């Protein structure tokens, strides 16, 4: 099974004591319980109902003060809008943040406060304590947290880190709670942060985590190439339209998943424009599924960015400044049903698995011929294809 966080192949770990199977990732250190051993939602709820905590319980309040001191007070912004995600049967943390720290809090809990009050909102503080160990797909929730965070907002998370030792793990009390299915270390949290565009501001060795948005997306990703299209190179440009796109590099052996477009007779990477309200990675996943129907797509990491100044077909602009972010991804080889846009159908675009070297050779030939029908993106795509091949050679050398 591949790791739900980093996509690396996991190893099976059986705890003989209770015959439960886990999947251990040696790369990002994430451990997930095999889904055959999950408890049902009813059983999960019974476990939660056993907790009886209140704001009048001083031990419990002290436990949260410790968390607030470590993860929030030092890093907080001016704003006071907060959300406690997974607030539990008694929303003690949010009560405390309201009463003693001046926050206005929304709460959400799958069982006890199921109304999604957070939808359409952004917060200066999102807290999630003892929640992420219950999540089957942590990345999906971290992406949600990213969307919910104001630009300078903080995400404060608590989960106990696993001991990184098979024997100790077997005897660990946190593992034995049957509703706990996902286990992390600080290394796992760093991987997650990287994947969703967050940075770790604070983390200790036990359980406390503070995350913020990465400073800027731009420039974080390595520049592969920056160029100006010949048709605008010597033009006077005043009104430039800026566009951000995200593209996926999905390899399978020596083949790569590309879009072949009949109109331009070229291979291009699947992906496309990122909507303004969308995170880049989110736009990428949406575009990949629409254009190729690819299944089980996971973003593995950043590959690099290409910046180009090129002609534009909107008359109100002189040129377009486009930044394309390329991400390495994994996906099943068998493609599902794509959902292409009208212009893509018109241009005769279709997803294909093609040998990397063949795609490069084909595109280079088309560039050389320089027919009328040549597309605007072929230069960019060929540069990146060649960079991928170069990297592969370096790895195997
Ligand atoms: Zn992993």
User: Do 257 and 179 belong together in one domain?
Assistant: no
Instruction: Please give the pLDDT value at position 238.
Output: 74
Q: Per the domain annotation, does 8 fall within a domain?
A: no
CATH of the domain at 55: 3.40.50.150
CATH of the domain at 268: 3.90.79.10
User: Do 128 and 92 belong together in one domain?
Assistant: yes
**Angle between helical axes of 280-292 and 138-148 (0-180°, round to 10):** 130
Which is higher by pLDDT, 219 or 292?
292
Q: Per the domain annotation, does 218 fall within a domain?
A: no
| Cα of 31 from ligand 1 centre, angstroms | 8
Instruction: Please give the pLDDT value at position 219.
Output: 46
Domain end point (choices 156, 184, 213): 213
Q: What is the dihedral of CA 16, 19, 25, 31, to 10 degrees?
A: -110
Q: Per the domain annotation, does 15 fall within a domain?
A: no
| Cα of 8 from ligand 1 centre, angstroms | 5
| Cα of 132 from ligand 1 centre, angstroms | 16
Q: Whole-prediction pTM value? A: 0.58
Percent of the chain with pLDDT over 70: 98
| Cα of 24 from ligand 1 centre, angstroms | 8
60-64, 82-86, 101-105, 381-385 — which is least confidently predicted? 60-64
| Cα of 342 from ligand 1 centre, angstroms | 38
Beta bridge partners of 123: 149
Residues with CB under 5 A from ligand 1 (ion): 3, 5-6, 8, 25, 27-28, 30
- d(CA 252, CA 231) in angstroms, rounded, equals 36
| Cα of 9 from ligand 1 centre, angstroms | 8
How many angstroms separate the first and last alpha carbons of the chain?
28
User: Do 150 and 255 belong together in one domain?
Assistant: no
- d(CA 196, CA 1) in angstroms, rounded, equals 22
Q: Per the domain annotation, does 274 fall within a domain?
A: yes
User: Do 202 and 317 belong together in one domain?
Assistant: no
User: Do 128 and 159 belong together in one domain?
Assistant: yes
| Cα of 30 from ligand 1 centre, angstroms | 5
Domain end point (choices 213, 233, 248): 213
Q: Which two tokens stand for residue 38?
A: 């999950």
| Cα of 162 from ligand 1 centre, angstroms | 14
Per-residue pLDDT reduced to its tens digit, 187-204 = 999 999 988 989 888 888
| Cα of 6 from ligand 1 centre, angstroms | 4
Q: How many domains does one find in the chain?
A: 2
Confidence of residue 223 (pLDDT cuts 50, 70, 90): confident
Percent of the chain with pLDDT over 90: 65
- d(CA 213, CA 146) in angstroms, rounded, equals 7
User: Do 363 and 244 belong together in one domain?
Assistant: yes
User: Do 205 and 244 belong together in one domain?
Assistant: no
User: Do 198 and 230 belong together in one domain?
Assistant: no
Per-residue pLDDT reduced to its tens digit, 297-314 = 988 888 999 988 899 988
> Is the pLDDT confidence value at 294 over 90?
yes
Per-residue pLDDT reduced to its tens digit, 129-160 = 999 999 999 999 999 999 999 988 999 999 99
Q: Per the domain annotation, does 170 fall within a domain?
A: yes
Per-residue pLDDT reduced to its tens digit, 322-377 = 999 999 999 999 999 988 888 888 999 999 999 999 999 999 999 999 888 898 89
Per-residue pLDDT reduced to its tens digit, 47-62 = 888 777 788 888 888 8
Winning range, highest mean pLDDT, from 42-46, 81-85, 99-103, 336-340: 81-85
Please enumerate in sequence order all residues whose Cβ is within 8 A of that of 379, keeping only pairs 6 or more positions apart, or say none. Answer: 227, 229, 367
| Cα of 84 from ligand 1 centre, angstroms | 27
Which structural domain, as residue segments, surrounds residue 372? 223-396
| Cα of 88 from ligand 1 centre, angstroms | 28
Instruction: Please give the pLDDT value at position 161.
Output: 97
User: Do 165 and 242 belong together in one domain?
Assistant: no
Domain end point (choices 186, 213, 240): 213
| Cα of 23 from ligand 1 centre, angstroms | 10
Instruction: Please give the pLDDT value at position 13.
Output: 96
User: Do 303 and 156 belong together in one domain?
Assistant: no
């Amino acid at each position: 099974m591949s790791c739900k966080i980093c996509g690396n192949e996991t190893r099976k770990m059986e705890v003989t004591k209770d015959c439960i199977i886990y999947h251990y990732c040696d790369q990002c250190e994430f451990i997930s319980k095999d889904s055959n051993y999950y408890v049902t939602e009813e059983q999960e709820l019974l476990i939660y109902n056993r907790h009886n905590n209140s704001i009048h319980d001083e031990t419990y309040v002290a436990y949260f003060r410790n968390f607030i001191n470590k993860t929030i007070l030092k890093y907080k912004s001016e704003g006071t809008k907060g959300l406690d995600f997974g607030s539990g049967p008694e929303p003690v943390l949010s009560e405390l943040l309201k009463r003693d720290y001046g926050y206005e809090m929304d709460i959400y809990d799958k069982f006890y406060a199921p109304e999604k009050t957070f939808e359409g909102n952004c917060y200066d503080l999102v807290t999630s304590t003892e929640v992420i160990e219950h999540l089957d797909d942590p990345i999906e929730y971290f992406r949600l947290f990213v969307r919910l965070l104001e630009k300078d907002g903080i995400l404060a998370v608590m989960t106990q880190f696993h001991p990184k030792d098979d024997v100790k793990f077997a005897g660990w009390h946190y593992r034995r709670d049957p509703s706990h299915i996902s286990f992390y270390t600080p290394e796992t949290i760093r991987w997650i942060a990287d994947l969703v565009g967050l940075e770790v501001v604070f983390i200790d060795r036990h359980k406390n985590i503070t995350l913020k948005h990465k400073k800027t997306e731009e420039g974080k990703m390595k520049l592969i190439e920056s160029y100006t299209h010949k048709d605008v190179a010597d033009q006077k440009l005043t009104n430039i339209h800026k566009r951000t796109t995200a593209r996926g590099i999905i390899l399978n052996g020596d083949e790569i998943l590309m879009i072949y477009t009949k109109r331009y007779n070229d291979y291009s990477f699947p992906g496309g424009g990122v909507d303004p309200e969308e995170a880049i990675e989110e736009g990428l996943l949406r575009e990949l599924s629409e254009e190729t129907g690819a299944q089980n797509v996971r973003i593995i990491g950043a590959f690099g960015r290409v910046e180009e100044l090129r002609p534009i077909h909107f008359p109100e602009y002189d040129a377009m400044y486009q930044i394309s972010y390329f991400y390495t991804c994994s996906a099943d080889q068998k493609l599902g049903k794509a959902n292409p846009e009208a212009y893509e159908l018109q241009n005769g675009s279709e997803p294909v698995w093609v040998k990397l070297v063949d795609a490069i050779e084909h595109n280079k030939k088309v560039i050389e011929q320089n027919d009328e029908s040549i597309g605007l993106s072929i230069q960019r795509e060929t540069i990146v294809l060649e960079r991928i091949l170069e990297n592969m050679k370096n790895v195997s050398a």
